[in-house]
């Protein structure tokens, strides 16, 4: 599994209230949520983003509420992968549980700039910055989590186990 | 190697003699919680994946509290979806308008959480129940769906930071000031992925309400959970409410902690978190230049009876400043009635405050007190992120009920010892 796209870069402590403001949580419809993704810090994001793009954040990405609507909104907006220095723990497990690829990599978070073209190899954890000609090594997932991702989400992995 | 309090509870839940930090385990759950925002997403996943039964109808709680009483048609549809699901599976602990309160005030009050429990909730402030010596943590809706279907959840065993509490709080200083002070000290990711274990002789100086408030905001330091050692106060609180067996766990003497932080409760001042992160703390006395438009006293953090009591004592016989709106939200119907009997509701209304039925409403900018452009609020809630309570240019200062009430009187951020 791989991803390649243009980077949308944000700073530290990107919280779930700016990823998807609570005023839109009266629906669980994925495409409705996607329309308002990042709205409170970047009104242009939804117009700029293309399918397959990559989001890069700083430390503590996804902090705040447990709303799964946050990774859902990011995924439904077209983003294939989020790379950050570190993730807030509920966002981290939510992303895995719904099948949004996320990678922790402080070096990539620091060196990648907005608009760079980046490709990601999820098997090796290697992130290639094609614009700058650099490579960064992300933390690979433990086997337990790979199993959930291979099953395309937590509930599928439970179903597989039960059968 | 010794285990922390959290590690011991998780080991028991996993049926293991011993666990170590970093280990991935699957544990049995005592309770699975969701609200009117997160449960619909869980139900969609549950149904999409073809699950046709819940693991235990007495171990699931659904609390309609975020946009309830329904704020609009879409919210009404979401509540209806939860109500139908709860009806279909005969969920014992489904709480709707009239019975519902803010989930993290309601569940302890109803005796649904006890020491040694393992609780997941599709709400980040589920960490509140650590105040009673339970392991409880926020998860997402897919985890909730999996929990409802299987009664299990996966966890990475966390390491812990030990907070050794000493001393005694000064008058007008409460649990809220303690947790804001701690977050100011360690930062919003200072306890990322970790447990915050509260121990030491100072614990006995904190009321159960103070402990619930402190554990509630552990997530605001990035923690997986916050947990207090169980003492006589905890046992007295639980004895009045819990009608089942439970087990008290204590950390091993040789438990390994990532670090130990000493907190002298007596050194903590009335503390305020400035926009736009809970770690931006200052003493309330340094912020008297900040003019405010709105005050909110309530939420899962500070909507309990002791919170209303201190606010009422400060507001009694006085009137809030001209141009300030003050909204008071008792967190549960029981708290509301208690406040009514004690005369607090009269005090609030005589002072010019609006008093609402329980709801999370304004805390997350849902409804009931949305802020306009450039408006400033003092709120006893838990997050002051950009746009959290309304317009993206509005500002939120997080504070205790005492600071909030004092500020409502003066129209600027005020140390409650100065009114």
For A161, name the nearest residue in chain B, comparing CA atoms only. B150
Q: Check if the beta carbon of residue B389 is closer than 8 Å to that of residue B363.
A: yes
**In this complex, is the C-beta atom of B151 within 8 Å of any C-beta atom belonging to chain A?**
no
3-state SS record for B51-114: CCCCCCCCCEEEECCCCCCCCCHHHHHHHHHHHHHHHHCCCCEEECCCCCCCHHHHHHHCCCCC
Picking from A17, A68, A63, the residue whose alpha carbon sits closest to that of residue B387 is A17
User: 269-328 in B: which are within 8 Å (CB) of A?
Assistant: 277
Q: Which of B24, B74, B386 sits opposite A144 (nearest CB)?
A: B24
Cβ contacts (< 8 Å) between A155 and chain B: which residues?
Answer: 45-46, 48-49, 51, 142, 145-146, 149
Mean pLDDT across A81-102: 94
Mean pLDDT across A93-107: 93
For B195, name the nearest residue in chain A, comparing CA atoms only. A89
- At residue A159 the predicted structure's pLDDT band, cuts being 50, 70 and 90, is confident
Q: State the Cα angle at B180 between B177 and B183, rounded to 5°.
A: 150
pLDDT (tens digit per residue) in B51-81 = 999 999 999 999 999 999 999 999 999 999 9
Residue B164 pLDDT: 98
Question: From the candidates B70, B385, B394, which should be mutated to test the interface with A, based on the most A CB atoms within 10 A?
Answer: B385
pLDDT tens digits in sequence order for chain B, 419 residues long? 899 999 999 999 999 999 999 999 999 999 999 999 999 999 999 999 999 999 999 999 999 999 999 999 999 999 999 999 999 999 999 999 999 999 999 999 999 999 999 999 999 999 999 999 999 999 999 999 999 999 999 999 999 999 999 999 999 999 999 999 999 999 999 999 999 999 999 999 999 999 999 999 999 999 999 999 999 999 999 999 999 999 999 999 999 999 999 999 999 999 999 999 999 999 999 999 999 999 999 999 999 999 999 999 999 999 999 999 999 999 999 999 999 999 999 999 999 999 999 999 999 999 999 999 999 999 999 999 999 999 999 999 999 999 999 999 999 999 999 99
Question: From the candidates A155, A158, A160, A161, which should be mutated to test the interface with B, based on the most B CB atoms within 10 A?
Answer: A155
Residue A160 pLDDT: 85
Residue B208 Rama label (left phi>0; alpha psi -120 to 50; beta) = alpha
Q: How many CB atoms lie within 10 A of CB A143?
A: 9
Picking from B300, B283, B314, the residue whose alpha carbon sits closest to that of residue B404 is B314
Cβ distance A18 to B364 less than 8 Å, yes or no, reads no
Decide if pLDDT at A33 tops 80.
yes
CA distance B143 to B46: 10
**DSSP, residue by residue, A81-143:** EEEES-B-HHHHHHHHHHT-EEEE-HHHHHH--TT-EEEEETTTTEEEETTTTEEEEPPPPPH
**In this complex, is the C-beta atom of B203 within 8 Å of any C-beta atom belonging to chain A?**
no
Q: What percent of chain A has pLDDT over 70?
A: 99
Cβ distance A17 to B24 less than 8 Å, yes or no, reads no
Q: Which of A68, A142, A153 sits opposite B38 (nearest CB)?
A: A68
CA distance B297 to B306: 12
Question: From the candidates A24, A27, A28, which should be mutated to test the interface with B, based on the most B CB atoms within 10 A?
Answer: A28
First to last CA, chain B: 52
Q: Which residue(s) pair with B376 in the sheet? A: B395
Q: What percent of chain B has pLDDT over 70?
A: 100
For A62, name the nearest residue in chain B, comparing CA atoms only. B222
Nearest-CA distance from A48 to chain B in Å?
Answer: 21
Please report, for residues A91, B50, B312, the alpha-carbon distance to residue B154 in angstroms, rounded to integers and kept in the order given: 15, 21, 44
pLDDT (tens digit per residue) in A46-56 = 999 999 999 99
Picking from B79, B108, B126, the residue whose alpha carbon sits closest to that of residue B366 is B79
CA distance B63 to B207: 25
Residue B213 pLDDT: 98
For B24, name the nearest residue in chain A, comparing CA atoms only. A144
pLDDT (tens digit per residue) in B252-299 = 999 999 999 999 999 999 999 999 999 999 999 999 999 999 999 999
Please report, for residues B192, B258, B361, the alpha-carbon distance to residue A85 in angstroms, rounded to integers and kept in the order given: 12, 21, 33
Residue B366 pLDDT: 96
Question: From the candidates A20, A22, A86, which should be mutated to test the interface with B, based on the most B CB atoms within 10 A?
Answer: A22
Nearest-CA distance from A156 to chain B in Å?
Answer: 7
C-alpha gyration radius of chain B: 20
Decide if pLDDT at A122 tops 90.
no
A-B C-beta contacts closer than 8 Å:
133
- Which residue matches tokens 């002051």? B384
Decide if pLDDT at A17 tops 70.
yes
Cβ contacts (< 8 Å) between B193 and chain A: which residues?
Answer: 89
Cβ distance A25 to B126 less than 8 Å, yes or no, reads no
User: 82-141 in B: which are within 8 Å (CB) of A?
Assistant: 121-124, 126, 138-141
Q: What percent of chain B has pLDDT over 90?
A: 100
CA distance A28 to A31: 9
pTM of the model: 0.97
Which residues of chain A are at the B interface, by a Cβ-Cβ cutoff of 8 Å? 13, 15, 17-18, 21-23, 25-28, 40-41, 59-60, 63-69, 71-72, 86, 88-90, 93-94, 97-98, 142, 144, 153-156, 158-159
Residue A99 pLDDT: 86
For B126, name the nearest residue in chain A, comparing CA atoms only. A66
Residue A163 pLDDT: 75
Q: Which of B51, B224, B385 sits opposite A17 (nearest CB)?
A: B385
Decide if pLDDT at A1 tops 70.
no
């Amino acid at each position: 599994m791989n991803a390649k796209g243009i980077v949308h870069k944000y700073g530290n402590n990107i919280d779930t209230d700016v990823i998807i403001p609570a005023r839109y949580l009266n629906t669980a419809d994925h495409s409705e949520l996607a329309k308002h993704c990042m709205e409170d810090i970047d009104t242009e994001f939804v117009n700029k983003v293309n399918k397959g793009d990559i989001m890069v954040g700083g430390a503590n990405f996804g902090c705040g509420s447990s709303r799964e609507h946050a990774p859902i909104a990011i995924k439904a907006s077209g983003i294939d992968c989020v790379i950050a220095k570190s993730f807030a723990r509920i966002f981290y497990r939510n992303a895995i549980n719904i099948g949004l690829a996320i990678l922790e990599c402080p070096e990539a978070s620091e060196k990648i700039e907005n608009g760079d073209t980046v490709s990601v190899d999820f098997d090796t954890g290697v992130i290639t910055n094609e614009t700058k000609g650099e490579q960064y090594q992300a933390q690979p997932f433990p086997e337990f989590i790979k199993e959930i991702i291979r099953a395309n989400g937590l509930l599928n992995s439970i179903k597989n186990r039960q059968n | 190697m010794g285990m922390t309090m959290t590690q011991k509870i998780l080991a028991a839940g996993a049926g293991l003699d011993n666990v170590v930090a970093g280990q991935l385990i699957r544990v049995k759950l005592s309770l699975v919680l969701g609200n009117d925002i997160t449960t619909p997403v869980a139900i969609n996943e549950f149904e999409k994946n073809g699950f046709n039964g819940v693991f235990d109808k007495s171990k699931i709680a659904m609390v309609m509290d975020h946009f309830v009483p329904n704020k609009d048609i879409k919210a009404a549809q979401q509540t209806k979806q939860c109500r139908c699901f709860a009806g279909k599976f005969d969920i014992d602990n489904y709480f709707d308008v009239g019975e519902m309160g803010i989930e993290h005030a309601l569940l302890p009050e109803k005796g649904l959480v006890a020491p040694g429990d393992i609780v997941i909730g599709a709400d980040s402030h589920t960490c509140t129940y650590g105040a009673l010596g339970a392991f409880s943590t926020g998860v997402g809706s897919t985890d909730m769906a999996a929990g409802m279907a299987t009664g299990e959840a996966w966890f990475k065993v966390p390491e812990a930071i030990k907070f050794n509490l000493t001393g005694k709080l000064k008058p007008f200083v409460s649990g809220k000031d303690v947790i804001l002070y701690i977050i100011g000290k360690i930062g919003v990711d200072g306890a990322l992925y970790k447990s915050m274990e509260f121990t030491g002789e100072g614990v006995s100086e904190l009321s159960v309400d103070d402990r619930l408030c402190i554990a509630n905001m552990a997530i605001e330091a990035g923690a997986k959970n916050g947990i207090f050692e169980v003492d006589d106060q905890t046992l007295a609180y639980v004895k009045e409410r819990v009608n089942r067996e439970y087990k008290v766990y204590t950390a091993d003497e040789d438990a390994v902690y990532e670090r130990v932080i000493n907190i002298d409760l007596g050194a903590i001042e009335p503390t305020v978190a400035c926009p736009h992160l809970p770690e931006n703390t200052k003493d309330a006395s340094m912020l008297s230049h900040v003019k405010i438009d709105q005050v909110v006293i309530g939420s899962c953090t500070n909507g309990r009876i002791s919170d209303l009591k201190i606010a009422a004592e400060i507001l009694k016989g006085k009137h809030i400043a001209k141009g300030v709106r003050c909204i008071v939200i008792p967190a549960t119907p029981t708290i509301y009635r208690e406040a009514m009997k004690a005369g607090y509701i009269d005090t609030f209304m005589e002072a010019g405050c609006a008093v609402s039925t329980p709801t999370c409403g304004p805390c997350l900018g849902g409804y009931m007190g949305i802020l306009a452009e450039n408006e400033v609020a003092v709120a006893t809630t838990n997050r002051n992120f950009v746009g959290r309570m309304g317009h993206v240019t509005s500002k939120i200062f997080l504070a205790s009920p005492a600071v909030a009430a004092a500020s409502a009187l003066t129209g600027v951020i005020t140390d409650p010892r100065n009114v």
